[in-house]
Chains A and B, each alone.
Chain A
Amino acid sequence: MNIQSGAEAVARRTGLTARGLCYDAGGKRLIDGMDISIAAGRRTVVMGANGAGKSVLLRLLHGILSPASGEVLCEGRPLDCALRARQAMVFQRPVLLRRSVRGNLAFALAAKGVPRRDRGHAVADALEQARLTHLADRPARVLSGGEQQRLAVARALIGGPDLLLLDEPTASLDPGSTHAIEELIQNAYQRGVTIVMVTHDAGQARRIADDVVFLNSGRVVEAGPADQVLNAPQSNAARAWLGGRLYLDSTP
């Protein structure tokens, strides 16, 4: 197992492919036959209106939800424990443990099976990266929203994942905090970590995305290089969304 800290590790380039993904909840089809491919070592931004299925898609790709049908493949193999262990995810609202900042980071390493004596160095690096060193011994849950999310991203990265999924990580943050999170994401990308991020913010998508996937009503309506999707959207849904208009018709 790779026990190098996230800061030093060079990620293995890993992509994902989903075929015919379907997911139902409460009798409703939330994901309806999605085919999607996440290119290795690139930054993919997933966009779409509320209820389009972005969050569910991320959880399916991460393997914490199981599809009703279809499959998620990584390097040609169905997602298993070992492959999932090479992914990490950041949720919209950070779920922090009732421990110190340092304790939260160490916990993620422990979960990856990193021996106690090897954790200190990696934790110190991650604290540094996330600019949380001065808060290391503070209870994680009394940090500000921005600090909490920085910690969540740092915790996701500390195990040295090859692929990082982020579900609207900056949705309720101020510009300064948003910038800090984006910086962490970009640094990870520089080390070769594949990024998959959901955002509502077209500006953020322009700053980060190599590729954009646009969802509507549980389907992929448009996918391609960021330039193309953001500047010359082909589908009605994407055009309406990016044009700032309300788009209420569910047909693409």
Chain B
Amino acid sequence: MTGFGSILAQALGLIASGDAALMEIIGLSLRVTLSAVALSCLIGLPLGAAVGAFRFPGRTALCVVLNALMGLPPVVVGLLVYLMLSAAGPLGPLALLYTPSAMVIAQTVLVTPIVAALTRQVVEDLNQEYDEQFKSLGVTGAGRVSALLWDARFSLLTVALAGFGRAVAEVGAVIIVGGNINHVTRVMTTTIALETSKGNLELALALGVVLLGIAVTVNAAVMGLRASAVRSAYA
């Protein structure tokens, strides 16, 4: 086993080489994960905000379910989505299995509960602060949800980041519904799994370092945005 220094050097070399195959894999990883996170936000933000802002029968049960779903194993999600999209499954005619869209769907299923559950917490706290003012201004229903989401926007960036981290790092779901097909559905994590199974541990680790670098870059960018928001007391 080579030392970590040489692996780091290999990782930097990989990036510097601008290797077309690697760039394709990184590009697909980002495209799939960012699409899934965007879709999860589209579903999870309003859902979580509604649960956070309103009292209704079954709310506690819904919170428990949302929190529990945060722990869904990616492989289980992969299997569920596989069964849906399989030619033998209900959505078979869409012919989505083994495409990037299938990976987006699987990651969306994986990430939406995380976005919804964390959003619920953020929005519930903010709603407590705003409740009287909103009642006074007569802000109710969808108007209240969207106002809370907007005012929590910088806290919710962190929520989206949590979802991004989960999606970009998971391999269990995308390898089942994507099939790890070269040039079609091969992403960073499935490549790492493949190289590991080929015994190319240094290359696998170097790819892991590249993945980590991407995650760090995305996080730093969002945190920078959030820090400037904190200075404006917007966060």
Contact = CB atoms under 8 A, between A and B. Distances in A.
Q: Find out whether A and B make contact in their complex, taking CB atoms under 8 A apart as touching.
A: yes
Contacts of B234: 98-99, 139, 141
Contact of B233 (A89, A91, A142): A142
- Among B138, B150, B233, max chain A CB count under 10 A is at B138
Given A85-B138, A139-B232, A111 B143 contact: yes
B139 interface: yes
Contacts of A85: 138
A62 B136 contact: yes
A64 B132 contact: yes
A111 B129 contact: no
Interface in B133-159: 133, 135-139, 143, 147, 150-154
SS class of chain B's interface: helix, strand, loop or mixed?
A: helix
A108 B151 CA distance: 14
Interface in A78-106: 81, 84-85, 88-89, 91, 95, 97-99
Interface residues of B, number: 20
A112 interface: yes
A99 B154 CA distance: 12
A85 B232 CA distance: 31
B42 to A, nearest CB: 22
Nearest first, the 3 A-B pairs at minimum CB distance are A141-B233, A95-B133, A139-B232
Interface of B: 129-130, 132-133, 135-139, 143, 147, 150-154, 232-235
Interface of A: 59, 62, 64, 81, 84-85, 88-89, 91, 95, 97-99, 107-108, 110-112, 139-142, 156
